Every structure is written in structure tokens, then in C-alpha cells.
């Protein structure tokens, strides 16, 4: 209930005090427009398309390349309520996200065998503002957290199955549930697609680390094969479904090329690219003479060309690319994630007033210094939300990874903890080579809050014990 209350309060605040045009991401706009227009059969009108910065034709052009699960969610809401909207999607998402407290508490209990700690982790998730902020956005990123948490919970259930007459029945049920979660979430956010295979590999790697043996125990093979089987099924079925709207079978959305070059733009590079969709589109136009108009992240042919150039880039600049991967991995482990009460952030960034504020902040920092008393006092008086968010981000960059370290220092369940951090490990392994934005950092840590929370609980408990003993000493 606490998690739901936090998310409802955040939604109510934004609905009451933040009046913005519903810009959002191109995926969110496409999902809403396709569902409301019945895939172009029902005209929406010029005024609607102008407000949402996208036409029905533009949404239809993006359909083959995108992850289409958000469209299906809007269609479900439309079937149930007779219509759909950003507000309905927000309400649905915060309800689902609040329910994730229960599997997280189950994970926390497995890692601590302590009900009080499990309840505390549930409260921590409810109060974790970056995740609440993500849930309130009518976009697709919150579903990655849903997939990570449910998949990790089922993963721990699967690997904990002991040999016996009921093992196979339980294994089939858990594997079927994992397949359902993975297949559904993959339709919405396909970066999760390799997670079951990654879980099997991570299990082997952590077993190797804890037992110092290359031999994977025979008793674990059924569960490991179940994980691999789920992964293969999700990849195969998703690829076959995508082939119906593309000219080839691809289990993920076909915007990898655009994402890769946007990732190149996150760092200094020979092409002068910036971390901006428009910069990559301009690069494509300069190199090919073709202007891409399909969508923000381009169509199938556009991304195919960018994928080919990505291979050439890696071959030509291997050291530069390796440094990009390493720096991006560090950015995921020490996350500079959003920390704000303005859930309309995608639109909020692009409003004239926010662009002016951003320019003013840069000028203040250049004139007085980034953390000078003058800069901080001026920012506090002019934009307190920004200052709270700034110090919140800095705190989380340290507190979250340090909580994980503390768990492995003080917990007696280190081996299980290694298995539980698989979402963050998967985040690092799959996103570091390509692209990672601040918003995508949230699911990786939201899913391992049991490890982080227990780490801090045990560290504080140890500190209080030492202080009591010092106080009692003669």
C-alpha cells in the first residue's frame, strides 16, 4: 500500500501542478496513436496529431521497427475501458509496479531469513523515488523493471528446486511462468530478451567462482536447461512474430544501429556526434545523402546501414570503442539516475522554460564554479527541484553500489546474493557495448534493492552493536 500511495501521490502532483503538452518518447506516442486510430482506420484529426507531435502515418511508419508491446497494452486498456490515454496507462503502470513489492520482499527474505528485513526492503522499494518516477511515466521503460524483478524471483525459485518427485512439476510451472513474463516484457522492451540465457550463464559463472571448479553440478542441469529453453523459445517466437511486419526475422526492435551511434555520441568521437537522435540522423544524411523521415530512431533500412557502419567503427577504432564500453559500464555501476518529482520529464526537458533554465545553470557554473556557495544558493532560490535532484543523484551514485558491497562484506548468503544481482550484471554486459541513458539505469538497481537494502541494514546493525559495546565498556 505504501508503494502505491507514493506513486499515486507523485501522479497527482504532476497532474495538478505540471501542465505540459504530452510529448513523451516516440514509442509512447506511436503506441497511443496506433491504438486510438485502430492502425490508421480511424482519423484522429489534425489538432490531436499536432498536440502529440506525430501523425497517424508517422506512427504506422514506426510500427515495423519498434517494440510493439506498448501498443498492445493500450489496446488492452481500450478493450476494457472503451478508450485509452496516457492517464490510463499511468494508472495501470503504477498499480502493476506497486505489486512488485511482494516478489521483492520474497527475494529479500530468501537473502536474510528475516521478516523484518523483508518488510523494510518493501518500504525501501516504495520510497525509491527514481522507480516511482519511472512508473508514473506513460512509457515503456518501467516494464523493464517489472521483467527484471519477476524474472529474478522465478529464477531463484527455479535454482532452489531440490531433486525429488515433485521437482519436475514445479520446474515446468516456474519455467512456464518465466516464459510468460519474458515473452510479454520482451514485446514492450526487447533489451531484456537474453536474460534467461544470461541467467543460466551467470549461474554457471557464480558456481565456478564459489566452488572453484569448472564442473557444473549434475543436479543443476535440469534447471539450467529450463532457463536456456525459455530463452530460446522467447528469441524464436519473437523473431517469427517480428518477421510478419519486417522483411527478416529479428527478435528485438530494429533500431540497434541508431542506438549504437547515439552511444558513440555520449563520448568524444572522430565524427563529432552528440548524444542526440537528431545528431545521428544528420550523420546518416551527410554520409548517404538520404534524409530519414520514418521516425525518431529511423526505419529498417536506415538502421541496417548504421549497423554496417558500426562494425567498421569498431574495427577502425578498437581502443576508443573499448574505452567507451568501460566508461559506460562504470556509469551503470555508479548510476547518475534521474531523481525528481517531475514525471513529465521527456516533455519537461523540451519546454522553452526548461531550456532557458538549463542555459542559466550552465552560465552560473561557468561564472562561479559548479559547487560554489553562490551557484548553490542561486539554484536553491531559483530552482529547488533541480538542487534536490542533483544532491539526490549524487547520493544514489554512492549509496546504491556501496550497499551492494556491504552485503557481500556482512551477509552469510553471499553465494545467493551473487545470483540475485543478475539484473545489474545483465545491464552492464548488454548495455555497456551499445548505449545507456540515465533513465535506463533505474531498472538495474530497482531489481537488486534487496541486496542493497540488506547490505545497509547489516552494516548499520554491526555499527550499532559496536557502539553499544563501546558504551558498555568500563
Length of the chain measured in residues: 474
pLDDT in tens, 146-162: 999 999 999 999 998 87
pLDDT in tens, 264-323: 998 999 988 888 778 888 888 888 888 776 666 667 778 888 899 999 999 999 999 999
pLDDT at 355: 67
**How far apart are the C-alpha atoms of 55 and 44, rounded to whole Å?**
9
The maximal CA–CA distance of the chain, rounded, in angstroms, is 83
pLDDT confidence tier of residue 351, bands split at 50, 70 and 90: low
Q: Does 468 have pLDDT greater than 90? A: no
**How far apart are the C-alpha atoms of 249 and 243, rounded to whole Å?**
4
- Write out the DSSP string of 309-360: HHHHHHHH-HHHHHHHHHHHHHHHHS------S---HHHHTTSHHHHHHHHH
pLDDT at 380: 82
The answer to whether residues 273 and 283 touch, using CB atoms and an 8 Å cutoff, is yes
pLDDT confidence tier of residue 9, bands split at 50, 70 and 90: confident
Q: Does 458 have pLDDT greater than 80? A: yes
pLDDT at 347: 45
Dihedral of CA atoms 334, 336, 341, 345 in degrees, nearest 10, equals -140
Half-sphere exposure of 151 (CA within 13 A, CB side): 34
Residue 425: count of CB within 10 angstroms of its CB: 19
Burial class of residue 174 in the structure, from the number of CB atoms within 10 Å of its CB (0-12 exposed, 13-18 middle, 19+ buried): buried
Q: Which residue has the higher pLDDT, 354 or 379?
A: 379
**C-alpha distances in angstroms, 287 versus 87, 281, 291, 318, 393?**
41, 10, 10, 21, 38
The answer to whether residues 185 and 129 touch, using CB atoms and an 8 Å cutoff, is no
Burial class of residue 31 in the structure, from the number of CB atoms within 10 Å of its CB (0-12 exposed, 13-18 middle, 19+ buried): buried
- Report the candidate in 226, 232, 230 with the shortest Cα–Cα distance to residue 158: 226
Average pLDDT estimate for 174-187: 95
Dihedral of CA atoms 87, 92, 95, 96 in degrees, nearest 10, equals -140
pLDDT in tens, 194-222: 999 999 999 999 988 888 877 888 888 99
pLDDT confidence tier of residue 474, bands split at 50, 70 and 90: low
**How far apart are the C-alpha atoms of 308 and 431, rounded to whole Å?**
19
Three-state secondary-structure class, residue 135: helix
Q: Report the alpha-carbon angle 36-40-46, nearest 5.
A: 75
Q: Does 426 have pLDDT greater than 50? A: yes
pLDDT at 346: 47
The answer to whether residues 136 and 90 touch, using CB atoms and an 8 Å cutoff, is yes
pLDDT in tens, 366-392: 888 877 888 888 888 877 777 777 788
- Report the candidate in 167, 174, 90, 91 with the shortest Cα–Cα distance to residue 344: 90
Average pLDDT estimate for 14-18: 64
pLDDT confidence tier of residue 24, bands split at 50, 70 and 90: low
Q: How many angstroms from the chain centroid is the CA of residue 155?
A: 19
Residue burial 147-171, b: 16+ Cβ < 10 Å; e: rest: bbbbbbbbbbbbbebeeeeeeeeeb
pLDDT in tens, 271-281: 888 887 788 88
Q: Does 93 have pLDDT greater than 90? A: yes
Q: Which residue has the higher pLDDT, 181 or 32?
A: 181
**How far apart are the C-alpha atoms of 52 and 320, rounded to whole Å?**
39
Amino acid at each position: 500500500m505504501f508503494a502505491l500511495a507514493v506513486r499515486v501521490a507523485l501522479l497527482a502532483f504532476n497532474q495538478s501542478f505540471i501542465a505540459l503538452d504530452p510529448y513523451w518518447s516516440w514509442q509512447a506516442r506511436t503506441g497511443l496513436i496506433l491504438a486510438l486510430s485502430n492502425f490508421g482506420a480511424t482519423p484522429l484529426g489534425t489538432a490531436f496529431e499536432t498536440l502529440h507531435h506525430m501523425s497517424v502515418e508517422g506512427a504506422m511508419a514506426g510500427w515495423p521497427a519498434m517494440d510493439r508491446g506498448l501498443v498492445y497494452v493500450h489496446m488492452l486498456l481500450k478493450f476494457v475501458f472503451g478508450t485509452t490515454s496516457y492517464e490510463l496507462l499511468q494508472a495501470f503502470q503504477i498499480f502493476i509496479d506497486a505489486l512488485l513489492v511482494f516478489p521483492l520482499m520474497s527475494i529479500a527474505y530468501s537473502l536474510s531469513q528475516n521478516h523484518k528485513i523483508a518488510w523494510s526492503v518493501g518500504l525501501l522499494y516504495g520510497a525509491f523515488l527514481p522507480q516511482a518516477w519511472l512508473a508514473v511515466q506513460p512509457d515503456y521503460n518501467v516494464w523493464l523493471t517489472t521483467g527484471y524483478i519477476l524474472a529474478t524471483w522465478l529464477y531463484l525459485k527455479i535454482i532452489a528446486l531440490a531433486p525429488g518427485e515433485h521437482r519436475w512439476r514445479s520446474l515446468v510451472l516456474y519455467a512456464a511462468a518465466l516464459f510468460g513474463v519474458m515473452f510479454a516484457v520482451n514485446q514492450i522492451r526487447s533489451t531484456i530478451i537474453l536474460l534467461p540465457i544470461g541467467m543460466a550463464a551467470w549461474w554457471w559463472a557464480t558456481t565456478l567462482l564459489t566452488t572453484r571448479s569448472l564442473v557444473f553440478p549434475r543436479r543443476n542441469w535440469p534447471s539450467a536447461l529450463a532457463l536456456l529453453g525459455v530463452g530460446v523459445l522467447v528469441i524464436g517466437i519473437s523473431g517469427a512474430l517480428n518477421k510478419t511486419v519486417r522483411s527478416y526475422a529479428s527478435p528485438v526492435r530494429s533500431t540497434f544501429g541508431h542506438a549504437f551511434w547515439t552511444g558513440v555520441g555520449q563520448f568524444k568521437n572522430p565524427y563529432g556526434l552528440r548524444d542526440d537522435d537528431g545528431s545521428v540522423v544528420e550523420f546518416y544524411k551527410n554520409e548517404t545523402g538520404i534524409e530519414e523521415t520514418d521516425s525518431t530512431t529511423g526505419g529498417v533500412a536506415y538502421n541496417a546501414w548504421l549497423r554496417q557502419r558500426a562494425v567498421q567503427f569498431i574495427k577502425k577504432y578498437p581502443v576508443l570503442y573499448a574505452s567507451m564500453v568501460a566508461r559506460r559500464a562504470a556509469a551503470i555501476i555508479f548510476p547518475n539516475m534521474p531523481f525528481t518529482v517531475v514525471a513529465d520529464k521527456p516533455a519537461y526537458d523540451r519546454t522553452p522554460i526548461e531550456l532557458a533554465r538549463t542555459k542559466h545553470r550552465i552560465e552560473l557554473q561557468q561564472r562561479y564554479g559548479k559547487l560554489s556557495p553562490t551557484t548553490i544558493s542561486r539554484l536553491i532560490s531559483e530552482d529547488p527541484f533541480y538542487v534536490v535532484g542533483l544532491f539526490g543523484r549524487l547520493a544514489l551514485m554512492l549509496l546504491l553500489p556501496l550497499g551492494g558491497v556491504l552485503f557481500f562484506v556482512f551477509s552469510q548468503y553471499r553465494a545467493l546474493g551473487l545470483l540475485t544481482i543478475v539484473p545489474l550484471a545483465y545491464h552492464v554486459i548488454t548495455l555497456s557495448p551499445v548505449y545507456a541513458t540515465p533513465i535506463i539505469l533505474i531498472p538495474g538497481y530497482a531489481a537488486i534493492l534487496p541486496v542493497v537494502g540488506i547490505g545497509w541494514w547489516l552494516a548499520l546493525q554491526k555499527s550499532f552493536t559496536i557502539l553499544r559495546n563501546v558504551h558498555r565498556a568500563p
